[in-house]
Structure 1
Amino acid sequence: MPYTMVSFHAHPDDEALLTAGTLARAAAEGHRVVLVVATAGGAGLASSEVLAEGPLARRRLAELHRSAEALGCARVECLGYEDSGMADARSGAAGAFADADPQEAAGRLAELLRQERADVLTVYDPAGGYGHPDHVQVHRVGTRAAQLAGTPVVLEATVDRRLLQRALRAVHWLPGIPADFHPARFAAAFAEPERITHRVDVRAFAAQKRAAMAAHTSQAGADTGRRTLAVLLKLPRPLFRMLLGREWYVQHGRAPARPLIGDVFAGLPDSR
């Protein structure tokens, strides 16, 4: 039977990196997919050329809708908070998401979860994957919202840390791969494989995932350095499919077991 998945993210483009394949697969299988961002990403890095074209937040929301269309999402919402910026370069914006009262923000998200009768909510782990303040707040707000709304399944979108480091060791020597993609940088990021409960095969949806990434053109370039999206989009398609063809989650309240679960709707009742 069809279920409803709500995928909660901090900024436009976050959905493309960790969950795009899962969202595309769920939509293709007939489930309702709702994409929610806390902020419009106005403090994101962008080239001076992009910034000269107008407000970055407005552009990034338009990119989010193009990404959502590529993935088959049925609804897109922004909670309206301001982008907080990175931990070492805070935006200082009034209304920054990282500074919001988690209970108040959770109430906003919980109302949407109730409207949608959500069966599954995706968030991030307590450390926000790699420590971005808005990503950490997504965990706090999302988990509380699920409690308020009674959403039965909460999944922390993550990456298998061990496989990530192995992949980085395999590709860091390729031309164009930035030096900061060194495996040591991710020694404490994302999840230890022992915590992971789900590994979702999304290789059949690599094209949709790539299209979602490509929609975020403002985030694929900068005046200095190389952006993650730009690097990933330059990967040959077979290598892209191999490296990004699986997505990982840690389910709240479920003990890890082997084999890993391959379906984010596993365990839900056949009728509501």
Structure 2
Amino acid sequence: MTTTPQPPQPPDEPDRTPEGAAGAGTLGRDPLEVAADAVDDAAGALQPEELAAMERLDQPRRVLFVHAHPDDESIGNGLTIARYAAAGAGVTLLTATRGEQGEVIPAELAGLGPDELAEHRTRELAAATEALGVDDHRFLTRPDGSGYRDSGMVWLAPGVAGTGEDLDPRALTAADVEEVAERVAEVVREVRPQVVVTYEPGGGYGHPDHVRVAEATRRALVLAAGDRHDGSVPWQVAKVYETVQPESLTRAALRALAAAGLADVPDPDGPLPSVVVPDEEVTTAVDGAEHVAAKLAALRAHASQVTVDLEGREPVMRLSNRVPQPVLPVEHFRLVHGVASGPFDDAGRETDLFAGVAL
């Protein structure tokens, strides 16, 4: 097809472009103003969720935290989440289940059924994320749009969990890991984080849902970076971290708790859960001293699962097994993908998850 060029309009004549056509009313206007109007028009045509996605991508630093249940984000990463949210980074929290099988601590909540507990814990999570400053929280969904359910667990030893009985077919660990990974990958491609944080392979203390989330997240990052046939844009994450605790610090904290006469303190010289790793494996230490109050508020929001004791020299939290865990002002990580970059602390550890990331 060919077209006949139209003669240019004299510069002193009004713009004759028909109303509604591209470029209408633009003659003589500031090009930057015209461009801004075009962006506004395009944004106005978007659905609210599409507009929110665009706004998230406007944030130059983006981090995704992937967790299994409500409360895991506050226990493991509360300081770090609060620090980056307060600094203006785009913080997305992805929670795999609603914690239907959680072991309830308060007696007044002991009669809640699984679905009632899920609703209760969802409300707790909303309060906790508000305390931490998170404005982008989402639950992982199954391919049919429903949610994955808590797989349950049993305590095998102080601080160590294992698989429970009577697994629900809708449970996270009943699903194929490839299916779960693909669902996580969809979030990664949408959010486009430079940094992802999740559990180490043992899931912190052996909870089967934690183990599944760790496994599925590692696979999801491979899927997210690959070519797609559905039109979604691949995304390569720059840095991936596992939440860990240095062995020397953990044993020292246990000795201090034992010396303070607290009950149910594990043997400071005995076996420790998988979240505790040799000091040399800890690559990163995030100082969250200014955000301890936010973490404590988030922990207290999860009252069905966590108790917080503020009476001692340092705040202490306990899960349903009653084992005391100090709430320290620093959270530690192991970098498993990417390059560790300065600034470094006196122990040679990174102090910023985004260190070295090209923004």
TM band (smaller chain): 0.7 to 0.9
Secondary structure in structure 1 of the residue aligned to 2:240: strand
Per-residue CA deviations over 1:85-136 (Å, capped at 9, x if unaligned) read 1215345222221232111111111111111111111111111121111111
Matched, 1:120 2:195: yes
Other-structure match for 2:83: 25
Secondary structure in structure 2 of the residue aligned to 1:92: coil
Aligned pairs (5 A) from 1:33-182 = 33-47=91-105, 48-53=107-112, 55-79=116-140, 80-86=147-153, 87-149=162-224, 150-175=236-261, 177-182=262-267
Q: Which one has the largest radius of gyration?
A: 2
Aligned pairs (5 A) from 1:221-236 = 230=307, 233-236=308-311
CA change 1:186–1:38 in 2 (3 A) is farther
C-alpha deviation, 1:21, in angstroms:
0.4
Match of 1:22, as an amino acid? Answer: T
CA distance in 1, matches of 2:89, 2:237: 16
Secondary structure in structure 1 of the residue aligned to 2:183: helix
CA RMSD of aligned residues (A): 2.2
Mean CA deviation greater in 53-62 or 163-172? 53-62
CA distance in 1, matches of 2:117, 2:269: 32
CA distance in 1, matches of 2:329, 2:173: 31
Secondary structure in structure 2 of the residue aligned to 1:36: strand
CA distance in 1, matches of 2:312, 2:293: 9
Other-structure match for 2:329: 245
CA distance in 2, matches of 1:181, 1:255: 35
CA distance in 1, matches of 2:192, 2:242: 19
Matched, 1:266 2:324: no
Other-structure match for 1:208: 294
Aligned positions, number: 258
Q: Is the 8 A contact 2:79 2:295 kept in 1?
A: yes
Match of 1:264, as an amino acid? Answer: L
Per-residue CA deviations over 1:206-239 (Å, capped at 9, x if unaligned) read 000101101101113xxxxxxxxx2xx2134862
CA distance in 2, matches of 1:243, 1:46: 21
CA distance in 1, matches of 2:299, 2:242: 20
Match of 1:250, as an amino acid? Answer: R
Q: Is the 8 A contact 1:197 1:255 kept in 2?
A: no
State the identity %: 36
Q: Is the 8 A contact 2:149 2:170 kept in 1?
A: yes
CA distance in 2, matches of 1:142, 1:178: 36
CA change 1:36–1:206 in 2 (3 A) is same
C-alpha deviation, 1:187, in angstroms:
2.8
Other-structure match for 1:223: none
More helix by share: 1
Q: Is the 8 A contact 1:5 1:34 kept in 2?
A: yes
Match of 1:211, as an amino acid? Answer: A
Match of 1:49, as an amino acid? Answer: E
Structure 1 stretches of 4+ moved >2 Å: 51-54, 88-91, 172-175, 180-189, 235-238, 240-243, 253-258
C-alpha deviation, 1:254, in angstroms:
4.9
CA distance in 2, matches of 1:109, 1:46: 28
C-alpha deviation, 1:153, in angstroms:
1.5
CA distance in 2, matches of 1:82, 1:213: 22
CA change 1:84–1:178 in 2 (3 A) is farther
1:187 to 269, 272, 279: 272
